[in-house]
């Protein structure tokens, strides 16, 4: 669903000005940078390999970059860190089995000018590190007035449903962290995004949490630029242009939205605009409001439970900013307010069918 | 440091506000203090008078006991080397299952118990093998065996009282088997059907049983350890003659919850057995990357509780140690730590391929130390077991396990409503709404519902 061309458009050189101006220039800059720097060099990668390639390049270009976590030395339980030990030796290392230790240790490394890239084996197991992330990493700069920072820290964690993960190998935990000023929360939805966004997180001056949709590790394959490149944080991507309703998602859920958009286009002639948020904190309010002001309708969808999910934040802000343009109440299609279940997973998840139903109801409101 | 001294001695607590609004004043104050007195004497002036007085004896009075003074500057411990002394590993049977003549065996197994223990271990082995294969064939989504640790798990289970509450990690289903969990019970959980108490909500191997005093397994590591300490303390408050038994891997012992649990249990005097299965690996991470000290047992003494290291491949030693630990815990009102040394002979789980991180030779060498075979040798030497019984047991167990899996696969899944029940004791309005919506979805899109799941 991500075409080659679309991906190429989002590839950006590292040293760009930030901000709105940049977004206006994006297309021109992209084509320029691609023809110059990438010279069309791409190769097909799945999301896991794209993460792996980003880690290799980060360690190549920054000898203070360290990769560590549980079982990363042999390549990681999802194989994302394969080859790092062989190539970078002790810069890729196993830690004792302790998530609070992994993040706290990473913060300490960051304070000394290192670039720690920590892996939490599953997002479901990030909670023991909650205190270190929320009270320490997030507030390190603020509480010292910039004297100290843990900004070099990047925490990677596979998240989301895979069909058989039950309570503790399935969770989408992003909204806990979007509630934390000082953290950046990033979720890629494709291999090329994964590489460019992860490299951005690693270079970013703030602590970033990078949630990898493990469902896509092997199933999502696309052409990925060979060289080192970044995709700016805080910018959404329009995956499909449309006129009747805006569908917003991130990570694996974006693919569900794209399928639903195609389904209602074919069956009902409804034209959906699909927006991939990519960064949840800080999120791209301009892209979102621009789209909703155009379509007049909003649907947000995430795997995480409905209540207090990040969809609530988007709906609240859109309701305020686009109130006069809205033609139907914004709607959320999300996981149930239950723990993530094993045998009920297809009913728990906001699948294509539920999204299609909600699109129709909203458009016919 | 300096400002605290100043604050305590001359500014006092009421001047906090003054501190905030008049830092210049404070600075001058500090300067004045510095110019009139050394830091040390300022500290002395700030401290209560008693603490400066000389102790009569050469000991330091401290809550909990007197600490001796020494004029030697000596650091304890240090990096462990292969030749460093280690806590020895208690065993009663040698590697071939022969009784070790001088072994201390306070509670020797009589024929009936020994045969029961062996039977459970052998059944466990058969069940593990069949279920592992069944998972590989795609009959259910996940499985874990305890290959190599049968003696640790069943031996300790036999040393507990069946009323003792078990808080397990996930590789201790042998405790359930020992206590009477049937193959049907196991199979129902593996298939997540409507007959299992967890209603198919959790992944396979997350067993639990109220009747058998076995708390339901939870994947996050080490979380069960503080629970066990709390449960044990409750037993003590109730004046019960039971203990809580917490099982965990050496990997899990690196989690913060491990520290919390041992420290709570020790300080509060909770009769809790902490049973560590040190099987050498946490997924791919070898034990020597998990800790730099002498394993887990040494931590028990640091927390102030009795600890023992035992040969986890010797069912009889594990049994004896567990019984003895239980007696200590109840008699002295304290936790006890047991570190059972073994080897995870199988892959971590059906999602793992351990040939990626350990050598074939290593695995072959350990498999040759099969604890079930070792215990059988002892039984046979006592003339309590023979080839014929062995064959019969394995054959019958195979049939029973296969039948149980067959049966469980045909049992309906729990109804849709079980997705929403048990979140709370009573279902709040939003879950009631979501249940109705989900039922509608299931009716409108039947393919989203597993075929054998009632839409109700
Ligand atoms: C908090 C937490 N972090 C990570 C994991 C993933 N994980 C599951 S089992 C395991 C290894 C555990 O090793 P150990 O405690 O030694 O038990 P063993 O598997 O050897 O029996 C890991 C890292 C988890 N379940 N929970
Ligand atoms: Mg282990």
Task: Clarify whether residues B362 and B393 are in a common domain.
Answer: yes
A24, part of any domain: no
Angle between helices A191-203 and A47-61 (to 10 degrees): 30
- CATH (domain of B144): 3.40.50.970
Are B267 and B354 within one domain?
A: yes
> Ligand 1 pocket: which of B251, B284, B357 to mutate (most atoms <8 Å of CB)?
B251
On whether both A215 and A259 belong to a single domain, the answer is no
Give how far A105 is from chain B: nearest CA, Å.
14
- Closest-CA residue to A352 (of A258, A288, A247, A268): A258
Distance CA B29, CA B354 (A): 66
CB-count exposure of residue A90 (10 Å: 0-12, 13-18, 19+)? exposed
In a domain, B208, yes or no: yes
pLDDT in tens, A166-186: 999 999 999 999 999 999 999
B321 & B251 share domain: yes
Residue B21 belongs to some domain of the structure: no
Which H or E run includes B136? helix B111-136
CA distance B271 to B244: 7
Q: Hey, are the CB atoms on B434 and A306 less than 8 Å from each other?
A: yes
What domain range includes position B139?
Answer: 111-410
Q: A145 and A279, same structural domain? A: no
What 3-state class would DSSP assign to B43?
Answer: helix
Alpha carbon separation from A25 to A9, A10, A136, A241, A278 (Å, rounded): 12, 12, 37, 19, 19
Which residue from B123, B120, B124 is spatially nearest to B112, judged by alpha carbons?
B120
Half-sphere exposure of B382 (CA within 13 A, CB side): 18
3-state class of A309 per DSSP? coil
- Judging contacts by C-beta atoms under 8 Å, the chain B residues touching residue A73 are 284-285, 289
Q: How far away is chain B from the Cα of A26, in angstroms, using its nearest Cα? A: 41
Tell me, yes or no, if B356 comes closer than 8 A to chain A by beta carbon. yes
B313 and B438 co-located in one domain: no
Mean pLDDT, chain B, whole residue set: 90
Asked if residue B424 and residue B404 are part of one domain, the reply reads: no
Query: Residues B341, B298: one domain?
Result: yes
Do residues A332 and A309 lie in contact, with contact meaning Cβ atoms separated by under 8 Å? yes
**pLDDT for B398-410, tens place per residue?**
999 999 999 999 9
Q: Which domain holds residue A173?
A: 33-225
Report yes or no on B289 lying in a domain. Answer: yes
- In a domain? residue B432: yes
Query: Each residue's pLDDT tens digit in chain A (365 positions)?
Result: 333 333 333 433 333 333 333 333 333 223 223 333 455 799 999 999 999 999 999 999 999 999 999 999 999 999 999 999 999 999 999 999 999 999 999 999 999 999 999 999 999 999 999 999 999 999 999 999 999 999 999 999 999 999 999 999 999 999 999 999 999 999 999 999 999 999 999 999 999 999 999 999 999 999 999 999 999 999 999 999 999 999 999 999 999 999 999 999 999 999 999 999 999 999 999 999 999 999 999 999 999 999 999 999 999 999 999 999 999 999 999 999 999 999 999 999 999 999 999 999 999 99
Given this model, what pLDDT does residue A2 score? 39
A139 and A284 part of one domain: no
| Burial A139-150, CB ≥16 within 10 A → b, else e | bbbeeeeeeebb
Instruction: Name residues whose C-beta falls within 8 Å of residue B368's C-beta, 6 or more positions apart in sequence.
Output: none
Number of the ligand 1 atom closest to the C-alpha atom of B222: 1
Does residue A131 sit in the same domain as residue A241?
no
Domain contains B74: no
- Out of A128, A164, A346, the one facing B142 most closely (by C-beta) is A164
How far is it, in rounded angstroms, from Cα A149 to Cα A152? 8
CA distance B283 to B82: 24
CATH label of the domain that carries residue A89: 3.40.50.970
B423 with B400, same domain?
no
| Residue A67 to residue A64: CA distance in whole angstroms | 10
Could you give the count of Cα atoms lying within 13 Å of B119 in the half-sphere of its Cβ?
Answer: 16
Q: Which residues of B touch A307 (CB under 8 A)?
A: 430
Contact A74 B357 (CB under 8 A): yes
Contacts of A144 (CB under 8 A, 6+ apart): none
Render B326-379 in DSSP notation, one character per residue. Answer: HHHHHHHT--EEEEEE----S-SSTT--GGGTS-HHHHHHHHTT-HHHHHHHHH
User: Probe ligand 1: pick from B175, B202, B252, max atoms within 8 Å of CB?
Assistant: B252
A14 is a domain residue: no
Burial zone of B65 (CB within 10 Å; 0-12 exposed, 13-18 middle, 19+ buried): exposed
Number of domains forming the structure of chain B: 2
Look at residue A208 and tell me if it is in a domain. yes
A342 touches chain B (CB under 8 A): yes
A255 is catalytic: no
Dist. CA B229 → ligand 2 center (Å): 21
Residue A167 lies in a domain: yes
Q: Are residues B425 and B307 in the same domain?
A: no
Q: Which residues line ligand 1 (CB under 6 A)?
A: A 70, 97, 99, 121, 125, 128; B 171, 219-221, 249-252, 277, 279, 281-283, 344, 348
Phi-psi region of A290 (alpha: psi -120 to 50; beta: other; left: phi over 0): alpha
Taking alpha carbons only, the member of A207, A206, A174 closest to residue A189 is: A174
* CA dist., res. B274 & res. B269, Å (int): 13
Nearest CA to ligand 1 atom 11: B282
From chain A residues 278-337, the ones with a CB under 8 A of any chain B CB are 306-307, 336-337
Interface membership of B5 toward A (CB under 8 Å): no
Task: Please provide residue B78's backbone torsions phi and psi, each rounded to the nearest 5 degrees.
Answer: 140, 180
- When divided into structural domains, chain A yields a total of 2
Phi and psi dihedrals of A262, rounded to 5? -65, -40
Domain boundary pick from A197, A225, A253: A225
The number of beta carbons lying within 10 Å of the beta carbon of residue B53 is 7
B398 assigned to some structural domain: yes
Give me the pLDDT at residue B31, please.
46
Q: Are residues B427 and B318 in the same domain?
A: no
A271: CATH: 3.40.50.920
pLDDT at site B53: 57
Q: How many helices (H) and strands (E) does chain A have?
A: 15, 14
Ligand 1: which residue has its CA nearest to atom 3?
A: A125
Active site residue A99: yes
The model's pTM is 0.89
Closest-approaching ligand to the CA atom of A129: 1
Same domain, B424 and B388: no
pLDDT at A25: 33
Q: Assess whether the previous peptide bond of A282 is cis (omega < 30° from 0).
A: yes
The reply to whether A301 falls in a domain is: yes
A341 to B200: CB separation less than 8 angstroms, yes or no: yes
Q: Which of residues 182-211 of B touch A (CB under 8 A)?
A: 192, 200-203, 206
- For residues A252 and A207, membership in a common domain is answered with no
Same domain for B279 and B315?
A: yes
pLDDT band at B230 (very low <50, low <70, confident <90, very high): very high
In angstroms, the Cα distances linking A21 to A24, A158, A204, A230, A285 are 5, 33, 19, 17, 15
| Nearest-atom index, ligand 1, CA of B144 | 19
Q: B453 contacts in A (CB within 8 Å)?
A: 343-344
**Residues B420 and B368 grouped into a single domain:** no
Residue B140 CA to ligand 1 centre (angstroms): 21
pLDDT at A40: 75
**In a domain? residue B35:** no
Q: pLDDT, tens digit, for every residue of B130-163? A: 999 999 999 999 999 999 999 999 999 999 999 9
Q: Which of A225, A255, A280 is the last residue of a domain?
A: A225
Put simply, the answer to whether B201 touches A343 (Cβ < 8 Å) is yes
State which of A166, A191, A225 marks the end of a domain: A225
List the catalytic residue out of A53, A70, A99, A136: A99
Nearest by Cα to A288 from A21, A17, A23: A23
Cβ of B202 within 8 Å of Cβ of A125? The answer is no
> Residues B162-175: pLDDT tens digits?
999 999 999 999 99
Q: Which atom of ligand 1 lies at the shortest distance from residue B250's CA? A: 16
Please report the pLDDT score of residue A239 as a whole number.
98
Claim to verify: residue A218 and residue A260 sit in the same structural domain: no
Alpha helices in chain A (DSSP H): 4-10, 20-33, 47-61, 84-88, 99-111, 130-131, 140-143, 174-178, 191-203, 216-219, 253-268, 285-295, 310-321, 345-348, 352-363
| CB atoms near residue B100 (< 10 Å) | 13
**Is A24 near chain B, with CB under 8 Å?**
no
């Amino acid at each position: 669903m991500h075409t080659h061309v679309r991906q190429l458009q989002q590839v950006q050189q590292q040293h760009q000005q930030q901000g709105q101006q940049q977004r206006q220039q994006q297309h021109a800059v992209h084509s320029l940078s691609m023809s110059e720097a990438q010279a069309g060099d791409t190769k097909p990668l799945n999301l896991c390999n794209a993460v792996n390639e980003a880690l290799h390049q980060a360690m190549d270009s920054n000898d203070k970059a360290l990769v560590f976590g549980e079982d990363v030395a042999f390549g990681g339980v999802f194989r994302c860190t394969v080859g790092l030990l062989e190539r970078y030796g002790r810069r890729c290392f196993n830690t004792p089995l302790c998530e609070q230790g992994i993040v706290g240790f990473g913060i300490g490394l960051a304070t000394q000018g290192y670039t720690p890239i920590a892996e939490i084996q599953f997002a479901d197991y990030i909670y023991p590190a909650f205190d270190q992330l929320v009270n320490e990493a997030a507030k390190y700069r603020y509480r010292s007035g910039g004297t100290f920072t843990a900004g070099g820290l990047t925490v990677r964690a596979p998240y989301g449903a895979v069909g058989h993960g039950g309570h503790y190998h399935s969770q989408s935990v992003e909204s806990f962290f979007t509630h934390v000023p000082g953290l950046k929360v990033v979720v890629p939805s494709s291999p090329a995004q994964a590489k460019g966004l992860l490299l951005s997180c690693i270079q970013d001056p703030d602590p970033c949490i990078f949630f990898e949709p493990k469902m896509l590790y092997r199933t999502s394959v696309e052409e990925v630029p060979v060289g080192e490149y970044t995709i700016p944080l805080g910018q959404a991507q329009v995956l499909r242009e449309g006129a009747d309703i805006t569908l917003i998602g991130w990570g694996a859920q974006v693919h569900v939205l794209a399928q639903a958009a195609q389904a209602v286009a074919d069956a009902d002639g409804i034209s959906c605009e699909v927006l991939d948020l990519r960064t949840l904190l800080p999120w791209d309010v301009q892209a979102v409001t621009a789209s909703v002001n155009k379509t007049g309708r909003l649907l947000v969808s995430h795997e995480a439970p409905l209540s207090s999910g990040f969809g609530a934040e988007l709906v609240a802000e859109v309701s305020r900013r686009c109130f006069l343009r809205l033609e139907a109440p914004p709607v959320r299609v999300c996981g149930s307010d239950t723990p993530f279940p094993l045998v009920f997973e297809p009913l728990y998840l906001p699948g294509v069918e539920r999204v299609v139903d909600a699109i129709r109801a909203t458009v016919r409101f | 440091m300096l400002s605290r001294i100043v604050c305590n001695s001359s500014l006092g607590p009421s001047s906090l506000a003054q501190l905030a609004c008049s830092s210049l004043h404070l600075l001058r104050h500090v300067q004045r203090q510095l110019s009139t007195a050394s830091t040390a004497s300022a500290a002395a002036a700030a401290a209560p008078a008693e603490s400066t007085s000389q102790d009569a004896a050469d000991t330091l009075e401290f809550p909990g006991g007197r600490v001796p003074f020494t004029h030697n500057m000596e650091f304890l411990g240090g990096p462990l080397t292969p030749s460093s002394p280690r806590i020895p590993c208690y065993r009663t049977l040698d590697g071939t299952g022969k009784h070790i003549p001088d072994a201390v065996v306070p509670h020797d197994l009589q024929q009936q118990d020994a045969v029961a223990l062996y039977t459970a271990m052998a059944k466990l082995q058969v069940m593990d093998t069949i279920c592992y294969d069944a998972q590989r064939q795609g009959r259910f989504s996940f499985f874990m065996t305890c290959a190599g640790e049968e003696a640790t798990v069943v031996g300790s289970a036999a040393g507990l009282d069946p009323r003792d509450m078990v808080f397990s990690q996930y590789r201790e289903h042998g405790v359930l088997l020992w206590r009477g969990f049937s193959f049907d019970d196991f199979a129902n959980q593996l298939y997540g059907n409507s007959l299992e108490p967890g209603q198919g909500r959790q992944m396979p191997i997350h067993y639990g049983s109220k009747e058998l005093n076995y708390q339901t397994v939870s994947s996050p590591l080490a979380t069960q350890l503080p629970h066990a300490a709390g449960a044990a303390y409750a037993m003590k408050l109730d004046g019960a003659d039971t203990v809580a038994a917490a099982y965990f891997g050496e990997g899990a012992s690196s989690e913060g919850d491990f520290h919390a649990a041992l420290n709570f249990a020790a300080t509060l005097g909770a009769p809790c057995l902490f049973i560590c299965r040190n099987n050498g690996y946490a997924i791919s991470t070898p034990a020597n990357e998990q800790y730099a000290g002498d394993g887990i047992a040494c931590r028990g003494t640091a927390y102030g509780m009795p600890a023992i290291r035992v040969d986890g491949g010797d069912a009889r030693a594990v049994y004896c140690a567990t019984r003895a630990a239980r007696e200590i815990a109840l008699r002295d009102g304290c936790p006890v730590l047991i570190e059972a040394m073994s080897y995870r002979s199988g892959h971590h789980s059906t999602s793992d391929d351990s040939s990626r991180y350990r050598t074939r030779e290593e695995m072959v060498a350990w498999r040759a130390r099969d604890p079930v075979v070792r215990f059988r040798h002892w039984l046979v030497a006592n003339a309590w077991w023979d080839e014929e019984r062995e064959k019969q047991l394995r054959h019958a167990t195979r049939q029973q396990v296969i039948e149980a899996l067959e049966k469980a696969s045909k049992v309906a899944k729990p109804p849709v409503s079980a997705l929403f029940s048990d979140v709370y004791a009573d279902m709040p309005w939003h879950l009631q709404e979501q249940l109705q919506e989900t039922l509608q979805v299931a009716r409108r899109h039947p393919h989203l519902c597993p075929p054998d799941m009632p839409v109700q």
